[in-house]
Copies of this chain bind each other. A is one copy, B any other.
């Protein structure tokens, strides 16, 4: 596949930070930036921008906040054609947390939201674009929305100038047929906009579904080194760059980064194809229950986890009748 308009955005630090509360060392983030720049990755997302009134900087690492001055330090002296991105969540950031673009190292600030909050997300993305940044809206967990909700949200989005809208495959519950349906629906409802895909690897479909999205016309794709990301993780950067066959992308720097930094980290913290996440993917459930289970003494008792999620609880009414 070669389609020069496809852009790759790396989410290693941002989505990976969901596992370790963004406690990456400066060296780790700098190496990520340097190697992904060499690899030709178009955008590198360094974390979330969030209000320090809402998140305690004593508890969370600096990539929960992505302060501009921390970013300037990290990128200092590294030659790069890659653009920097960070993400904001609805209601977790305030106007004063975002400087005008001229004073910031970031090119893009992406907005994540659930479909029910789409109009709040549009307001936030408009504020971000007014400050000079590129923006996108990443609508999470659409596998839990009924078709009418999706159509309404897309209709609202179609009236905006927000250039990029993502199909986000939050619970790892979709097959290629679902991706095809959504990417085609988004494209039809949002003429002139770029469609992105962000997938999760609960059932080893993150890469396959990203390819499917590209075949169906998505031109913005998220990936992370060795698939790092909360729970099952994401589409692997090393896989998507190999698939795209664009001569600007180089696999070798990603392999170097992977073996020097991400493989050792994977030995300390887990992500990837782990059965409780496969089970929540099958059931279209948020991974939080699997994350909690992996932190319990029963973490490898998959049958018990499966039974807990699939056995109907006795109806308390019936119990007392």
Binding site for B on A (CB under 8 A): 1, 175-177, 201, 203-209, 211-212, 215, 236, 238-239, 242-243, 251-252, 255-256, 258-259, 263, 272-273, 275, 278-279, 282, 300-303, 306-307
Most buried by B among A206, A209, A303: A303
Minimum C-beta distance from A286 to chain B (A): 18
Per DSSP, chain A at the interface is: helix
Q: Are B259 and A301 in contact (CB under 8 A)?
A: yes
Point out the residue from B204, B215, B239, B307 that lies within 8 Å of A177, measured CB to CB: B215
How many copies altogether? Answer: 2
For A300, list chain B residues within 8 Å (CB).
259, 263
Contact of A255 among B176, B242, B306 (CB under 8 A): B306
Q: In the docked arrangement, what's the CA distance between A256 and B279, Å?
A: 13
A211 partner, pick from B175, B252, B273, B307, beta carbons under 8 A: B175
- Determine if A207 and B207 form an interchain contact, defined as CB atoms under 8 angstroms apart: no
What's the least CB distance linking A203 to chain B, in Å?
5
Closest to A255 in B: B302
- Give the CA-CA distance A64 to B175 in the complex, in Å: 36
A302 contacts across to B, CB distance below 8 A? 255-256, 258-259
Chain B's nearest CB lies how many Å from the CB of A21? Answer: 26
What's the minimum C-beta distance from A48 to chain B, rounded to whole angstroms? Answer: 27
Do residues B203 and A239 form an inter-chain contact, with CB atoms below 8 A?
Answer: yes
| Contact with A204, one of B236, B275, B279, B306 (Cβ below 8 angstroms) | B236
